[in-house]
Structure 1
Amino acid sequence: MQQLNVIPRSRLCDELGVSRSTIKRWVETRRFPKPLKASGQEPLFDANQVKEWFANMEVKND
């Protein structure tokens, strides 16, 4: 069984230096990975999808 690598929104915000509203805006307008369903009160994101999103953003900006 594959283990899921998740990151809570609060940690994601801390690591990226952005606000909760920025993450929400990215989900709505920049195709940032959506939080996992049924992740509870603290939204959880798939860390691998987040890394892939950033890698794709770097390629587009080159």
Structure 2
Amino acid sequence: MAWIAHIASVFLWATRSYERHKIEEVPIMALRMIRAAGLCRELSISRTTLWRWTRAGDFPAPVKVGGGVTSWFVHEVEAWLKSHRGDGTMQGASHDS
């Protein structure tokens, strides 16, 4: 039963993220998330750089998933990449939820 509460909390955070960023509708199946370690690996940056960009507002805001876990929505990171690097894809990503 705890997993139902977890899924509900992720959905609630996803809803708040949509409201916060006023982004276009994204299908629920496209709501992939990636944690800090995977994101740093994909972007070839350090955790320090990731958090510096986040604090400065230069990078999409993370979502607290619970239990001390922080993740980013992949579609927000890809939109950021597209606006900053051009292609907007994280190739070979092993996205973790």
> What TM-score, normalized by structure 1, do the two folds share?
0.76
Structure 1 vs Structure 2 CA RMSD: 1.8
Alpha carbons of structure 1 residues 30 and 54: separation in structure 2 relative to 1, 3 Å: farther
The equivalent residue for 2:36 is: 9
Shift in Å at residue 19 of structure 1?
Answer: 1.1
Percent of paired sites with the same residue: 29
Structure with bigger RCO (C-alpha 8 Å, 6+ apart) = 1
Shift in Å at residue 28 of structure 1?
Answer: 2.0
Larger Rg: 2
Shift in Å at residue 30 of structure 1?
Answer: 4.8
The equivalent residue for 1:20 is: 47
What is the rounded CA distance, in whole Å, between the counterparts of 1:31 and 1:16 in structure 2?
A: 14
Shift in Å at residue 42 of structure 1?
Answer: 3.0
Q: Which amino acid aligns with 2:78?
A: K
Q: Where does structure 1 lack aligned partners over 5 or more consecutive residues?
A: none
Q: Where does structure 2 lack aligned partners over 5 or more consecutive residues?
A: 1-26, 87-97
